[in-house]
Amino acid sequence: MPGGGVDPLRLTAREAKRMLVEGEVSAAELMKVYLDQIERVEDKVKAFILVTADNAARYATEIDREAGASRGALAGMPTAIKDNMVTEGVVTTCASKILADYQPVYTATAVRKLWGDHVVTLGKTNLDEFAMGSSTENSGFFTTHNPWDLATVPGGSSGGSAAAVAAGEALWGVGSDTGGSIRQPASLCGIVGMKPTYGAVSRYGLVAFASSLDQIGPLTRSVYDCALLLSRIVGRDPHDSTSVRLPTEIELPKATTLDGLRFGVPREYLATGVQPGVRERFDETLMLIERLGGAVEEMSLPHTEYALPAYYIIAPAEASANLARFDGVRYGYRSAHADDLIEMYERTRGEGFGPEVKRRIMIGTYALSSGYYEAYYGQAQKVRTLVRRDFAEAFSTYDLIVSPTSPTVAFRIGERAADPLSMYMSDICTIPVNLAGLPAVSIPCGLADGLPVGFQLIGPAFSENRVLNAAHALEQAIGFTALPTFKDTTGKGEEA
């Protein structure tokens, strides 16, 4: 059997790397495992906007010819890339009609680093258009399905990368997280997802949604893999003024206990809307923390209730400017039905953007407009400062803050599509972290109603190693081994 009996639903990057290095499997064989899996399940999952199968197979064969030192650190590792990172010569769409045929002329720094390590790109994964959403239902092309139940969403906006990894269509993937867009889909798909400290990974080549919040990060099957991938993409980039050199290098985690660590549980994160099943898994995980030697204490992040409204001012405000460049003048979609410049702008953008993108551009434009700026944007920035201060104070007492990643398990496709506010609530536990620029990881901590539940660990800025080590110890203790079944409950109604 090609791939030596490799099961793509279980294989970790750590194991794949060992097998490749020790010659148990060739890059070409490994690639075939994933391309076969894509062949088998992609019709159901729809994780990819573009699968570059031929290129991937060819490149894997080339890697097999490379030997020794010339082989990159991640040579032959099949990787999924969210389609909002530009890749030279490979169409990058942001799941938007306005960029449906856009051929980038350069490659995002994070992707360039991975390519420098000789990972093999399987393709570009689906997302909510311009990363605006929590379900991939806002994709301008199609919705991705959660491999745990095809009738449910994979979360978003990095739902394509998360579903691809969960479905064994990729060994691992990269996504971007503006308000939870890595952690929430990781949670809903039963995998590990991390948003690093703001500035840890270069944003150069990440198509901007909200510049002061966006971060690229890993979606993987284990915490170890998460650290491995992160360690290869972090670093100061001269092309990104907001990027920084980490004070300490990313270590591969090996902690087995949580001795001496103090964990804070913000009561505001559990106040409303947490599903009972999610709450149960969360409470069990807290008990595991104590069993591993950690101390758990309920505490307060008092400005939490203002974080969501502040986010929904700041992110759309920045987006309204970031997306203004899509004007039909230089690249991308241009309406064919315009007689003058203004009409060309209006029609191009009217036809090219989907409803959620338009909604946020309008909110953002309004929030920045003369006479409203102070009341909205100015006020939201003050809230952001308070949210940041909440965390800073909390971290003088606690080493880590923990919460459910999402208040619910995967919801059904269409269930929240008509109600943007209920969709926005998906990110209630993740958004404050982006406002404060902190590192946070989501790991699976069990199932509720047969669907994965995510557990979030948040650390102070640049405490990636602390976060990853604790997550690793906890992951070993949790021993989450359940696998997605690709069942489809469409038409069967929601199970109780």
Partner 1 sequence: MTAGRDDKRADWEPVIGLEVHVELNTQTKMFCGCAVSFGDPPNTHTCPVCLAHPGALPVVNERAVEYATRIALALGCRMAPVSIFHRKNYFYPDLPKAYQISQYDEPLAVDGRFEYWVGDDKLSCRINRVHMEEDAAKLIHAGGETGRIAGSDHSMVDFNRGGTPLIEIVTEPDIPSSEAAREFLNQLRGMVQELGVSDVNMEEGQIRWDANISVRRVGSGELGTRTELKNMNSFRFLQQALEAEIPRQIAVLEAGGRIDQETLHFDPDTGATTPLRSKEEAHDYRYFPEPDLVPLVMDEAFVERVRASLPELPEARVERFMAAYGLPRYDAGVLGSSGPLARFFEQAARSGVDAKLLANWTMGEYLAHVNAAGIEPGKGHVTAERLARLVKLVETGTVSSSGAKDVFQLMIDERGEPEQIVEKHGLAQVSDAGELAAVVAKVVAEHPAQVEQYRAGKQQVAGFFVGRVMQATQGRANPKLVNELVRKALAG
195 among known catalytic residues: no
Q: Does 341 bind partner 1 (CB under 8 A)?
A: yes
Task: For residue 492, indicate whether it is catalytic.
Answer: no
Taking contact as CB under 8 A, which single stretch among the options 184-192, 270-278, 297-305, 321-329 is the one that binds partner 1? 321-329
Q: Does 242 engage in binding with partner 1 (CB under 8 A)?
A: yes
Residue (41 or 110) nearer to partner 1, CB: 110
Stretch that binds partner 1, among 46-54, 60-68, 102-110, 447-455 (CB under 8 A): 102-110
**29, 318, 356, 390: which one contacts partner 1 (CB under 8 A)?**
318
Residue closer to partner 1 by CB (options 280, 351) is 351
Instruction: Report if residue 321 touches partner 1, rule: CB under 8 A.
Output: yes
Q: Which of 82, 113, 124, 195 is catalytic?
A: 82
Which of 373, 375, 397, 414 forms a contact with partner 1 (CB under 8 A)?
A: 373
The answer to whether 181 is a known catalytic residue is yes
For residue 485, give every residue at least 6 positions away whose Cβ sits within 8 Å of its Cβ, in sequence order, or none: 147, 148, 149
Nearer to partner 1, 142 or 373 (CB): 373
Q: Which of 3, 8, 76, 104 binds partner 1 (CB under 8 A)?
A: 104
Using CB under 8 A, which residues numbered 153 to 172 contact partner 1? Answer: none
Should residue 216 be labelled a site residue for partner 1 when binding is judged by CB under 8 A? no
Q: Which is nearer to partner 1, 271 or 341 (CB)?
A: 341
Q: Which of 134, 181, 202, 243 is catalytic?
A: 181
Which residues within the stretch 219-238 sit at the binding site for partner 1 (CB under 8 A)? 238
* Enzyme catalytic residues: 82, 157, 181
Residues that bind partner 1 (CB under 8 A): 85-86, 92, 94, 99, 102, 104-106, 108, 203-208, 210-212, 238-242, 317-318, 320-321, 324-327, 329-331, 341, 345, 365, 368-370, 373, 377
